[in-house]
Structure 1
Amino acid sequence: MERLAIHHANGMEMVAVKDSAISENGTERTLYPYVTGTSVIGMKYKDGVILAADMGGSYGSTLRYKSVERIKHIGKHSLLGASGEISDFQEILRYLDELILYDNMWDDGNSLGPKEVHNYLTRVMYNRRNKFNPLWNSLVLGGVKNGQKYLGMVGMIGTHFEDNHVATGFGNHLARPILRAEWREDLSFEEAVKLLEKCLLVLLYRDRSAINKFQIAKITDEGVTISQPYALKTYWGFSAFQNPSKGAEGSW
């Protein structure tokens, strides 16, 4: 952290600590996440992999940005969704741009699949964690190559796993139980979208950082489609929403 000397008129000197640090190449490290995105949900379905996320960017507890795209197409076979610090996600995208460019320069007819990209991201996140300079993100990586569907997750300290459905943030607590109960391997695209929207609606009601503006992306052997932003129909007339403190224990 950077220590700043502050001089006052009475001759006293106080020292303040700035919540940032300068790395060796002169760039400023992220010591605390400032602008963040919330949950990303991903799952396999009959023809491929589908991801969903809202487009909110929170500045602390304030929903400051309403059009942040947190799902990106990576190479020929992968989709990446991210929650956490937006600037660190942009840094990760720069790393991936370099990786895909380097792979394309070989011009050998092969291209990186989702498993290779997932392994790369795992090494990057763990490497930065070991330098005590982590990238403050949780990542969902899905893709299809040669008919094989792949879906994995990477945490900010390099923890990683593969599964038929994954979620980050609040979605890991609120959406995964729904997916465990209702997910099937033979879901059609329409059924997969309906299930994802059910999860997104629960998150919208329960997560203060979520906004009613979503994108859904799918990847199959035919390619990638990322939807235009859209909103879900909501109902806020439930009595628990109108009087949330009713029946709460405690004097405060």
Structure 2
Amino acid sequence: MESVFGLVGKNFAIVVADTSAVHSILVHKTDEDKIMLLDSHKLMGASGETGDRAQFTEYVQKNVALYQFRNGIPLTTAAAANFTRGELATALRKVLLNWYFDIFTLWRTEMLVYSYKNPYMVNIILAGYDKDVGPSLYFIDYIASLHKVDKAAFGYGSYFALSMMDRFYRRDMTVEEAIELVDKCITEIRSRLFVAPPNFLIKIVDKDGAREYEWRKSIKDTPPVAAA
């Protein structure tokens, strides 16, 4: 029941994500940070399979840092979004390429054993601030679709977050107005979603950089019970 959403304001962009680490019917923790700081002025909010989400966002983060180290300048937000989209597309197509290759080489023995590589099952909201462009937000889904948008959402919470943003969003919103809208989205998700995540993390990026802004918590993790 993940919920990740974001929006662009007058001189900033905000990304919000739930902080629940869930497997099947179990909640393992409620303080999982699903918004990666790619560099000083970029945020990547991700939803999807836990392993894919952690591995892929770290992979993108390290490659963004590597580009800056090699070239002396950071990637723009648009370039980082296109790099992310390209890596998702490459991983997605490895499945079909390996399948066709192995079927071609093994068809005489009628064997269907092949090397199977999974694509990354992650959906991404990438936000950034560029000096010459200002704030921007990119929607990237698990099948490598890429769109520059003013607002976006993934997960079951998107049904309600998108509805609230469609009703109240404006492109020239101040930070205070945007946070008020974020709180409306969180309240709606908590009240309407049958299994709603209790805690949310809000991060912001503007000319001063990318940083954590606020938490919205309704429960806290309890320490494990010591064995008798």
How many Å apart are 1:41 and its aligned residue? 0.8
Partner residue, 1:214: 200
Is contact 2:19-2:34 (8 Å) kept?
yes
RMSD: 1.9
Partner residue, 1:68: 32
Cα distance change, pair 50–113 in 1 and its aligned pair in 2 (3 A)? same
Is contact 1:72-1:81 (8 Å) kept?
yes
1:123-144 per-position Cα deviation (integer Å, ceiling 9, x unaligned): 1111111123111111100111
Asked if 1:48 is matched to 2:9, the reply is no
Asked if 1:190 is matched to 2:154, the reply is no
Is contact 1:54-1:210 (8 Å) kept?
no
How many Å apart are 1:86 and its aligned residue? 1.8
- Stretch of structure 1 that moved more, 141-150 or 199-208: 199-208
1:134-176 per-position Cα deviation (integer Å, ceiling 9, x unaligned): 1111110011101422101111111221210000012332211
- Stretch of structure 1 that moved more, 208-217 or 197-206: 208-217
Cα distance change, pair 209–161 in 1 and its aligned pair in 2 (3 A)? farther
Is contact 2:11-2:134 (8 Å) kept?
no
Asked if 1:100 is matched to 2:64, the reply is yes
Cα distance change, pair 209–135 in 1 and its aligned pair in 2 (3 A)? farther
1:79-106 per-position Cα deviation (integer Å, ceiling 9, x unaligned): 0001111211111133123312321222
Cα distance change, pair 134–206 in 1 and its aligned pair in 2 (3 A)? farther
- Stretch of structure 1 that moved more, 208-217 or 139-148: 208-217
Which structure: larger Rg?
1
Q: TM-score w.r.t. structure 1 length?
A: 0.72
Partner residue, 1:136: 121
1:21-46 per-position Cα deviation (integer Å, ceiling 9, x unaligned): xxxxxxxxxxxxxxxx6111100011
- The 5 Å alignment of 1:1-252 reads 38-108=2-72, 110-132=73-95, 133-146=118-131, 147-231=133-217
Partner residue, 2:222: none
CA distance in 1, matches of 2:75, 2:177: 29
Kindly indicate whether structure 1 or structure 2 has the higher relative contact order, using CA contacts under 8 Å at least 6 residues apart.
2
Identity of counterpart residues, as a percentage?
A: 22
Letter of the aligned partner of 2:76 in structure 1? Answer: G
Whose helix proportion is higher, 1 or 2?
2
How many Å apart are 1:73 and its aligned residue? 1.0
Letter of the aligned partner of 2:192 in structure 1? Answer: R
Q: TM-score w.r.t. structure 2 length?
A: 0.79
CA distance in 2, matches of 1:221, 1:206: 35
- Stretch of structure 1 that moved more, 53-62 or 168-177: 168-177
Cα distance change, pair 62–218 in 1 and its aligned pair in 2 (3 A)? same
Letter of the aligned partner of 2:217 in structure 1? Answer: A
Partner residue, 2:224: none
Is contact 1:218-1:224 (8 Å) kept?
yes
Is contact 1:45-1:192 (8 Å) kept?
yes
Letter of the aligned partner of 2:147 in structure 1? Answer: F
Moved over 4 A (4+): none
How many Å apart are 1:107 and its aligned residue? 4.6
User: Helix, strand or coil: the match of 1:227?
Assistant: strand
